[in-house]
A and B are shown apart, each in its own frame.
Chain A
């Protein structure tokens, strides 16, 4: 029977405090079967003495390696958060573009806009860069069409 700490341990709290580490303990039983336990290893036990697991972890893996693992994890996490943020922004931008496209399609199915002969105004509506601009041009076209309608009694 044996036990060893895997070398991917990292500081659970602050890298400068080093009061606790998260580590995987690999235990090999008498039939050579291996099991892994993920543990949070506190530096100090409840009675105020140094935790022997903590001492063993530092002896086997080394403080410098745990520092490096902690720093690598921090960088990875920062990168992951950045990528997720970028992805959210891309999806949002795509949604905005698609919504704008659908607003324009709908606008051009409104009879007054569809039948308007003013190509320049219709082109402005097609080229609108956001929904507000599109709605404004749609309104202008409709007002112009209403002005051109023969007055009703």
Chain B
């Protein structure tokens, strides 16, 4: 077992009940393969029911109805080393036990966006660069205050971006640099853009040690690209990016329960 006493998994469920239902399933599936695993849920309080024993920690979001509460939640990890997972995933392999050791001395690690996935990451390539890190899985050293500060800044900047209050400006014209970064209105929904900007354009964060999780396709295997992302060793986490009826919570209501 490579888990340290304060390693843990962090899942965020906000906005719709289906995220909460899926988060419970994910937490239980982690414990199927790693019974001592610690799991923290960051959740909108109005989504939870009394069947939440699978979570070792629960943190309630401050703002309800925030689609990207995950960024805020990531800065609240109660663990020293944290693996953030999108709620619409499941654990399917005992190799989950070694996942925290992959972090090494990195501040953060992500799985890599493969070219085959680009269709679901619209606008992922733009004049100044391209998105490399898939935010669905993030392994990070949450014992480092600098990492936590980064997570919080990521969330802050994303909120500004989403609300049209921030976009990088062109130093020559002082205007928002559409030509360098693409269409602001297409891009503003993407926390990926804020992540890319902070790591590539903001000198304040250029000392961050960010890596790619080796064999990342095992830790973030998209059901949608199963045939092209399959690793013979088997998926550790499978991601149902299309499977969860994110906007149809009624689908998971059975007999009014």
Q: Which residues of A contact B (CB under 8 A)?
A: 86, 89-90, 93-94, 97-99, 101-102, 104-106, 108-111, 114-115, 122-123, 126-127
Contact = CB atoms under 8 A, between A and B. Distances in A.
B243 A126 contact: no
A109 B245 contact: no
Interface of B: 18, 21-22, 24-25, 28-29, 32, 51, 90, 92, 223-228, 238, 240, 242-245, 251-254, 257
Contact of A94 (B21, B22, B32, B242): B242
A90 B222 CA distance: 12
22 contacts: A89-B227, A90-B225, A93-B227, A94-B223, A94-B224, A99-B243, A101-B240, A102-B244, A102-B251, A104-B25, A105-B18, A105-B21, A106-B252, A106-B254, A108-B28, A109-B252, A109-B257, A110-B254, A114-B51, A122-B28, A123-B32, A126-B28
A110 B255 CA distance: 9
Q: Is the interface of A mostly helix, strand, loop or mixed?
A: helix
Contact of B32 (A105, A106, A110, A126): A126
Q: Is the interface of B mostly helix, strand, loop or mixed?
A: helix
Nearest to B21: A105
A9 B143 CA distance: 68
Nearest to A108: B25
B90 A126 contact: yes
A98 B25 contact: no
B240 A98 contact: yes
A114 B224 CA distance: 28
A113 to B, nearest CB: 10
Contact of A101 (B24, B228, B243, B257): B243
B240 A97 contact: yes
Given A106-B254, A126-B90, A97 B51 contact: no
B242 A102 contact: no
Contacts of A109: 21, 252-254, 257
Given A97-B240, A102-B243, A123-B32, A111 B228 contact: no
A28 B222 CA distance: 54
A108 B243 contact: no
Contacts of A110: 254, 257
